[in-house]
A and B are shown apart, each in its own frame.
Chain A
Amino acid sequence: MSRKVPIALGGALALAALPFAISDFWIFIAIEVLAFALYAVSFNVLLGYGGMLSFGHAAFFGIGAYAAALLVKKAGMAPGLAFALFPLAAMAAAALVAAIIGFFSVRRSGIYFGMLTFAFQMLLYTIALKATGLTGGDDGITGLKPPGAFARPAVYYYFALAITVPALYVLYRLVSSPFGTILRALRSNPRRVQTIGVNVRSHQLAAFVISGAFAGLAGALFAMSSGNVFPGWLNWTASATPIVMAVLGGVSTFLGPALGAAVYVVLEVMISGRTEYWPLAMGVIILALVLLMPAGLTGLARARRT
């Protein structure tokens, strides 16, 4: 306990001072890291804690992004109001979609659960692609700009921090709560959970909705920062990202996936900057991760310590 406090304080200070130390370009990257850290951690609530492997989690990241984009661009609201509401709107939209998808998906387990999430995501992808009037089709929605001072990277960074940190804290309390213990029991032995008097399906659905809602928030945060959203965010290959980040960081700790997200984003930026073959690099990294470093980065750190 005593070692964690100075580390936490140091980390908090570093996060707060960051915009003063780096260029605008890297502030954008830092914002991306925050959004993807939230995305990865919320995904891990489902995987590392609940034991449910979703093949279609990018659906919620994408829904959140589209919800924010539509609110800002097409709802006809004052820009300030739209901006104030977009995080909530994104979470609500993602939660609603997650409730529908989850209701059907948690009735099955394992592979069938995964394939159901995949099917629903592809359904949403097709809609995003075809409903050109609403979603802009293949062109997506572009020109998303936060109003006034929020358009400045440093300001948006603090805004993203102000959303991400409390969101992560809420998720932390969730997994440390009695509900969180039930989730971990669900991962360990779902059938046994039934026989301690708990309705398995409803708890799995709740975890699914919460995980989806926070993924939606992450998607919206990122969309507003990058200024656009595209249907490709909903394509099935996009669902690899949260899994990679979570496993890279380590699924057995709460913040492991956040670390994985940071490493992933930075790697992506650095490699994409030098070559167009980022997918190839990512594939090789994944292979190395899966074959050589299964416990992720946090697992590596733990092994070093003992």
Chain B
Amino acid sequence: MMSAAVIPILQVTALAKRFGGLQALGGVELAVAPGEFRAIIGPNGAGKSTFFNTITGLLRPDSGRVIFEGRDVAGTAPHLLVRQGMGRTFQITSMFPDLSVRENLQVALLAHARRNWSIWPYARQMHTERAHELLHLVGLAGDAGLPAGTLAHGDQKRLELAIALAGEPRLLLLDEPTAGMAAQERIESISLVHRLATQLGVSCVFTEHDMAVVFAVATNITVLHQGRVLAEGSPAQVRANPLVQQVYLGESITSEGVCR
């Protein structure tokens, strides 16, 4: 799938994590090339959230390695990973509801510019141009002054995307980026992410349940099952894979989604 000469932007080897009696991750192997738009799919309980939380430093793996841009980052504090170029969005929309939309971007930009310890200059006018640029990219320029908590759900997701992009990540991890949206909105939303990622040169890894979304934009798909990689490949390859079909309980995976 990847030529030997390309250094993966993210490489995971033998990643394992156990919670009491449950082996959430049982040795996951994965490599993402720069520029990929990789989908991670799998039934509930397959380990997708644990996988994300381990890569982003919120959980410590029991064993295995997480190599980001050639550096072993297992055990690095989450906020440092962000500094090193790994961004993330959350399944349950997470932004700063009490701050205005513009301020949400400003605070991310201030942090990215390493100004978080700056205690004297006035912050109000800092990074406003760049904030507006980002808001324009995601289509929220008109809402800059509104309290972020008052935005509609879909707009909040777009704000979250802008916040993540403010950190100029080279790898963006999106946890169920279309959760809570209606079908048409989902396609629009993921297409926006795909377009911006391509435009800005950001590699993406995202988890998703809706196959229509996956097949619309993913360059490659990894299927997780019971904490292990079951299959991997292009959308066509994964669709045709008998193991994958079996895992989804004898259903056939078509571009319209999973049929029962």
Contacts and interface: CB of A to CB of B under 8 A. Distances in A.
Question: A–B direct touch, CB within 8 Å, in complex?
Answer: yes
Interface in B58-101: 77-80, 82-83, 87-88, 90, 94-99
Given A176-B123, A189-B94, A189-B96, A181 B78 contact: no
B82 A177 contact: no
Interface stretch (A4-12, A62-70, A79-87, A193-201): A193-201
B119 interface: yes
A159 interface: no
A197 B123 contact: no
B79 A181 contact: no
Contact of B82 (A178, A181, A189, A197): A197
Interface residues of B, number: 37
B103 interface: yes
A199 B111 CA distance: 10
A47 to B, nearest CB: 14
Contact of A199 (B79, B108, B126): B79
Nearest to A187: B98
B19 interface: no
A64 B93 CA distance: 43
A185 B107 contact: yes
Contacts of A173: 119-120, 122
B115 A178 contact: yes
Interface string A198-234: 1110010000000000000000000000000000000
Contact of A184 (B78, B83, B99): B99
A130 interface: no
A227 B93 CA distance: 54
Interface range, A side: 20 to 34
Interface in B22-68: 56
A122 interface: no
Interface string A86-100: 000000000000000
A203 B121 CA distance: 17
Contacts of A195: 56, 78-79, 82, 87-88, 90, 94
Contacts of B80: 197
Interface in B97-131: 97-99, 103, 106-108, 110-112, 115-124, 126
Nearest to A189: B96
Given A185-B96, A197-B111, A178 B123 contact: yes
* B107, B121, B122, B126, most chain A CB atoms within 10 A: B107
A180 interface: yes
B163 interface: yes
Given A177-B122, A195-B88, A182 B96 contact: no
B22 to A, nearest CB: 24
A180 B123 contact: yes
Contacts of B88: 195
B167 interface: yes
A122 B224 CA distance: 53
- In the A-B complex, the 6 residue pairs with the smallest Cβ-Cβ separation, listed nearest first, are A197-B82, A188-B96, A188-B98, A178-B115, A178-B118, A196-B111
6 contacts: A177-B121, A189-B95, A195-B94, A196-B79, A198-B111, A203-B116
Given A177-B121, A198-B116, 18 more contacts: A173-B120, A173-B122, A176-B124, A177-B122, A179-B119, A182-B111, A184-B103, A187-B98, A188-B99, A189-B94, A192-B95, A192-B96, A194-B79, A196-B79, A196-B108, A196-B167, A198-B111, A203-B116
Interface of A: 173-174, 176-182, 184-185, 187-189, 191-192, 194-200, 203
